[in-house]
Every structure is written in C-alpha cells, then in structure tokens.
Structure 1
Amino acid sequence: MSKSSFLLGVILGGAAATAAAIKLMDTTPQQLKEAAVEKFDDFMEANDFDADTLKSRAASSVDDLKQRGLDLANRANSKFNSDMGDEDEDFVVDNMVETPYEKPTEVFMPHKEEK
C-alpha cells in the first residue's frame, strides 16, 4: 500500500467520523472543535507535557535510533567481512571461459543433458 493511499484513507475516514459525530450528536463543527481542543489541553496538563520537552525527547530519540542503526550496520558488516577471512583480493568473473550453457531445470527434477 502506498503512502498516498493510506493518507487518503485516513482523511476520508476522519471526514466520515466527523460527519457522523455531527449528525448523531446535534452539535456544530465549532463545538466539536472546541471540545477536541479542550480534551487535548486537559491531557497535556494532566501528563505535564511541554512543547520544548517533547521536541527535545523526539530529537534525542532520533539520535538514539540513528546510533543504534549505525551500530547494527557495523555489526552486520564486521560479521559479513569476518566470514571472508583475510582475503583482500577482488573477485573477478572470467567471461572468457567457454562452458556450455545449461538450461535451468525445475526444482526436484533430474537434470538431463541433451546432445
């Protein structure tokens, strides 16, 4: 699913929910908006959230995730490279070797060479 399809679904779902709330509760859109803002403010006060605190937490979380990603990539790289041993040679594919082309066979089928 693409991001645009998901975003469109979220927008349409939110619009449908808002329309249903307005029709079923006999409220105006302005009253609904004020109630949502009031609930959000109450939540922020009850949990002692501050915009600057949230920004700093988010920034530190992003930095921590970046560092974890780098550590994971380094571990995977060192594990992959340790399997190769001490060989620092480049791998070269020799296209000049003349070997007959073998048709691929299906899985679990015996390979028969046609002459």
Structure 2
Amino acid sequence: MLRHRLAVLQRSSPKPAFTCRDRTVLAALLRLLTKRHRSALKLLVTPRTVLRRHARLVAKKWTNPHRGPGRPAKPEALRAPVSRLARENDTWGYRRIHGELLNLGWKVAAPPSGRS
C-alpha cells in the first residue's frame, strides 16, 4: 500500500490527483489491513471523504430514474378506432375488438387468456 501511495505522490504536483484506478487499489488494500494498522497510517484522504464517496456510490446504484405511474399511453391514432369500434358495436368484447384491430393492420398485444 505504501508503494502505491508513493507512486501517486511521485507523479503528482503539490496536491496529488487520484484516478479511479488509484482509489480502487487503495480501497482494496485498506480492506486487508486491521483497524489498528489503518488508524496508525497517515492517509492521503480522510475517513470522512471515504464515507462521502461510499454514500455517493450507494445513492447512485439504488436511485432509479423517476417515471410516471402505469403504462405509457397509447397513441391517439390507436385510441380513436378502439373507442369507435366499442361505441358502434356494444355487444363486442375486448377479444373481438382485438381481432378487428389486427384486421385493420394494428399490431397490438393479445388479450389475456382464461379467467382468474
């Protein structure tokens, strides 16, 4: 670990610039040391910095982009024929409307099969 720290210090100007690779190597090497040895080391980063970086990594991993609830809306060009078919043919169910949409050239998902 000391060799790696020296290598970082030798290639840098007054303030060392860590790369992602450097951080990874140092973190892996720090895990190998006991708590007593870690506390005796003069680290180039403070424990607070390590905790802050870890918190950012965890937040980045578990944060999902926000999406609105439910499925995306169908295009108006599809909703209009469905509404018209249902309105003009009140005895048709969703299976019949699905079949008619296929005949009209619309590629839509099959209706659910069976009852639950």
Name the TM-score class by shorter chain: under 0.3
Higher helix share: 1
The structure showing larger relative contact order (alpha-carbon pairs under 8 Å, at least 6 residues apart) is 2
